[in-house]
Structure 1
Amino acid sequence: MISYLQQLTAVLMAPVMSLLNNTLVGWLAKHFCIWWQRKRPPTQGSVAPGFEPVAALFRKNFENGVEQSTGGSAFSVYYKGSKVVDLWGGFADTTVRQLWEEDTMTVIFSATKGIAALCMSMLVDRGQLDFDQTVAFYWPEFAQRGKEKITVRMLLNHEAGLAATAQPISFKDLKDQDALGRLLAESPPCWPPGTGHGYHAFTFGLYCSQLLMRVDPQRRTLGQFFKDEVAEPFDIDIHIGLPLELNYRVARLTGILDFPYSVSLSYIPRDVVSWLFIWAFVTGRSFIHEVIQKATDMAMIRKMIKPQARALENPSSSGIGTARAAAKVYGILANGGQPLQGQRLLSKKLVEDILAEAGPPSLDKVVAIETNFSNGYALFDCEGSRQFGHHGAGGQQCVADPQYKLGIAYVSSHFSPYGFGNDPRFLSLQKATYKCVRDLQAKPL
């Protein structure tokens, strides 16, 4: 009888003990990582003269807990065409205490959309695409179910109403471009096109790639086009569809993915923008539920840990690269579309048009906050200056500032609750960068 009771108690208590053990293990691992980081220099990299305060702040963020001990991050800046900040720190994988190295990459999530927008602008620059032409002109099958008047510009600026597809999209669908094209062409708009904008979180890059395939003479996907026309000739270490052999360089995603074993107050957002989005999600006052439901695999962040998922081309949200590479791209754009030496990436006029043709921000039908897009890029205001680029879930942010000729990028493997360019880790570094630039500009020649 005693033996039976002991066995029954063990069975009933097993889940409770497992949770306690896992929670304790997670807590101990987290605090060991904090101790370990404080026992060694937590950051590495270099800065140009005048940008030392940025390096000091980056290090301080790791020491005082602004940067979480369970992950790693990188921050890079190009100024007037030259790299002036290149910093990295923390862990690429805390489970084996693998440090973030110079060539460590991470998933940049929706910051990939800025790369997709660049590819579309390059086609316009070459005369192969027109922002104001209808999508159906290039892709006749697209003209179904009320989409015949949607222009390329409307599609890029999230005004097409195509935030969710008629049928759910899985990773399996990403392997068959022809079937994916049919699914996208057959999907009706969620709202009348042109009557407002709503963030095409998971469909933006898919539609861009299908359109690109139909105007590119080589019928390349967007990921292949970017590799051939940007990544290789300009030495940009970003991949849309990561080769399996490069997975050893990718940091392991942490943060919200660790719940409930690594609960922290850092997962509670502290800004109005994030809470407005959460409120809309909870109350169902936007299209966000439908968007996530139809995105299936693409909305499951945990699946991006798998190499097979990273190998798939998804120009909406699964690009993988370094902060250095993203800052270089936007540094080139901020410098008028041309590096200090070498071939031009984009014409100066097209770069200038991104900000010149932008309208005012308005309420987004999907994320229920005010957003603003121009030719596929998200627009931001910073320190009295205008930026364009793109944010990404978990805190990623990549921007260009043509006024100051700045290209700035922050990436992290620690997935924070901030996804609209509002991550405190990035904002503090950006503010320090602008102060350094202004101090340099104020010095007499």
Structure 2
Amino acid sequence: MGSPVIIHGHCLPRYQALYDAFTANFVERGDVGAAAALVVDGELVADLWAGAVAPGEAPPWQADTLVNIWSTTKGVTATCFAMLVSRGQIDYERAVAEYWPEFAANGKGAVTVAQLLSHQAGLCGFRRSARVEDFYDAHKAAEELAAMEPFWQPGSNAGYHAITIGLLATALFEKVEGRSIRQFVADELANYDISIGLPAIRAHRAATMIAPPHMGTEALMTELTQPQMAALANPPLDPLLPNDPAWRAAEIPSANGFATARGLAHLYGELARGGGNLVSPDVLERATQVRYEGPDAVLGVPARWAAGFLRNVSGLYGESEAAYGHGGWGGSFAFADPDRQIGFAYTMNRMGTDLIGDPRNISLVASI
């Protein structure tokens, strides 16, 4: 960069390494606008932001700048389900079809709530040619997916339901709770400054997503299998979709969450302390229990799927085997480490091309 980056916020001296890594992400790794936050035992020990909300002579990133977090949204959705289980309204081990009878079609009658949330239902995409607009009518899309023949025998494999898990999840959630996940987040997680989609009242705070030329979901893999094609390339997703008013208006609780790093860190910080006021400790244990371990049939990388959360794999969230969270396309991520009672989050607007192992993420995690 032409001029030194100015880092805003605060960071306790003990976490100077995080401050340095965050700074280096701008100086050495191309960040344009970003934020990072660390909560330890309920205390916000680092809350950093820097850069600009868009390319060029754009306004500076603020303390409350929101950004689309892509699949980091999935951890929020997993938390909503854990809250519902804690309240006795749904059970991870019960069949989805008990709450949603139509879901039983085409041999899916035994699929449990936990299997659905851990990407084992085989509904990773549509079988027909789809358009992005199909994701904007969540109810219609969910009905079609529920009636569909799965891409594999449910429970025999797991493959990342990149977008469809959000559509299925909110349909199931609404049948059980009465509110959609979007409404539930607005009502129950307002303190964490997270929304599904971007309500007009929050729009002025949103950063613009930036991506390299020719970047799209279909480029994540070379030769696509049928499930990969369905999940990642039907339709291919443009990384700049979050700048589109139609995307921002939709309800896609797998991919169109808008949040601050601070809010996400507080959310995971609460979970890291045994669930806090959100989730009972016994339910949190079930929510984060590994439901599938092995190669992911869509992403082609090792995965340890819990009930909507990704359990730590390949040191993604540091050294703790017990850590869990979720990351998003392009680089955002948030996680809880219950061993050290920490919640951490990183949000940014300049998307990277690494499916896993974004150098910005590796550096931040190593620093804490």
TM category, shorter = over 0.9
Select 1:244's aligned residue among 187, 200, 218.
200
1:414 aligns with one of 329, 350, 353:
350
Residue 320 of structure 1 corresponds to 258
Instruction: Check if 1:284 corresponds to 2:224.
Output: yes
2:47 to 72, 86, 89: 86
Mapped partners of 2:226, 2:333: distance in 1: 24
Contact 1:334 1:400 in 2 (8 A): yes
- For 1:25-64, list aligned pairs within 5 A: 34-35=1-2, 37-38=3-4, 41-63=5-27
CA positional deviation for 1:152:
0.6
1:361 is displaced (CA, Å) by 2.7
**What is the aligned counterpart of 2:146 among 185, 198, 220?**
185
**Alpha-carbon separation, structure 2, partners of 1:412 and 1:241:** 17
Shift of 1:429: 1.5
The letter of the residue matching 1:155 is L
Q: Where does residue 186 of structure 2 map in the other structure?
A: 227
TM-score, normalised to structure 1's length? 0.77
* CA RMSD in angstroms, aligned pairs only: 2.2
In the alignment, the residues of structure 1 paired with residue 249 and residue 292 of structure 2 have an alpha-carbon distance, to the nearest angstrom, of 37
Deviation of 1:345 (Å): 0.7
The 8 Å contact of residues 118 and 292 in structure 2, kept in 1 or not, is answered as no
Residues 400 and 408 of structure 1 are in contact (CA less than 8 Å); yes or no, is this contact kept in structure 2?
yes
Deviations 1:236-265 (A, max 9, x none): 111102112422211111132x459xxxxx
Amino acid at match of 1:410: Y
- Does residue 365 (structure 1) correspond to residue 333 (structure 2)? The answer is no
The answer on 1:376 being equivalent to 2:308 is yes
The answer on whether the counterparts of 1:286 and 1:365 sit within 8 Å (CA) in structure 2 is no
SS at structure 2 position matched to 1:282: coil
Match for residue 330 of structure 1 among 257, 268, 271 = 268
Whether 1:393 and 2:349 are equivalent positions in the alignment is: no
Task: Please tell me whether residue 402 in structure 1 is matched to residue 350 in structure 2.
Answer: no
Q: Distance in 2 between matches of 1:359 and 1:283?
A: 28
Aligned to 1:411, the other structure's residue is in SS state strand
Normalising by structure 2, report the TM-score. 0.92
The one-letter code sitting in structure 2 at the alignment partner of 1:368 is G
Q: Any residues of structure 2 matched to 1:114-193 within 5 Å, and which?
A: 114-170=75-131, 172-193=133-154
* Whole-angstrom distance in 2 between the partners of 1:337 and 1:137: 27
1:347 is matched with which residue: 277, 280, 283?
Answer: 280
* Corresponding residue number in structure 1 for 2:359: 424
Q: 1:228 to 1:170 in 2, by over 3 A?
A: farther
Counterpart position of 2:30? 67
The letter of the residue matching 1:222 is I
Structure 2: any 5+ residue segments left out of the alignment? none
Aligned-residue offset at 1:336: 1.0
The answer on whether the counterparts of 1:105 and 1:249 sit within 8 Å (CA) in structure 2 is yes
Indicate the residue corresponding to 1:4 in structure 2: none
Q: CA deviation at 1:101?
A: 1.2
Identity of aligned residues (%): 33
Letter aligned with residue 405 of structure 1: Q
Distance between the aligned counterparts of 1:177 and 1:190, measured in 2?
20
Question: How far has the Cα of 1:58 moved from its partner?
Answer: 1.7
Q: Report the Cα distance in structure 2 between the residues aligned to 1:360 and 1:149, rounded to whole angstroms.
A: 16
Deviations along 1:4-55, one digit per CA (max 9) or x if unpaired, are: xxxxxxxxxxxxxxxxxxxxxxxxxxxxxx21x32xx432110124112321
> Structure 1, residues 357-396: CA drift from partner, whole Å, max 9, x if none?
3256301111111111111100114224431110110011
The reply to whether residue 305 of structure 1 matches residue 243 of structure 2 is yes
Report which of the two has the higher share of helix. Answer: 1
Contact 1:391 1:419 in 2 (8 A): no
2:165 maps to 1:204: yes
**Any conservation in 2 of the 1:165–1:188 contact (CA below 8 Å)?**
no
How far apart are the structure 1 equivalents of 2:272 and 2:231? 33
Sort the Cα spacing of 1:335 and 1:67 in 2 relative to 1 into closer, same or farther, 3 A. Answer: farther
Verify the 8 A CA contact 2:165 2:254 in the aligned structure 1: yes
CA distance in 1, matches of 2:329, 2:109: 32
What are structure 1's unaligned runs of at least 5 residues? 1-33, 261-266, 268-276, 339-343, 434-445
Question: What residue identity is the alignment partner of 2:29?
Answer: V
Judging changes above 3 Å, is the alpha-carbon distance between structure 1 residues 124 and 369 closer, same or farther for their aligned structure 2 residues?
Answer: same
Residue identity opposite 1:51 in structure 2: Y
Q: Is the 8 A contact 1:164 1:295 kept in 2?
A: no
In 2: Cα distance, 1:311 partner to 1:149 partner = 34
| 2:23 aligned counterpart, secondary structure | helix
Q: Secondary structure at the match of 1:346?
A: coil
What is the identity, as a one-letter code, of the residue corresponding to 2:319?
E
Report the Cα offset of residue 173 of structure 1.
4.0
C-alpha separation in 2, matches of 1:124 and 1:359: 16
**Is contact 2:70-2:257 (8 Å) kept?**
yes
1:418 offset after TM fit, Å?
A: 2.3
Amino acid at match of 2:94: Q
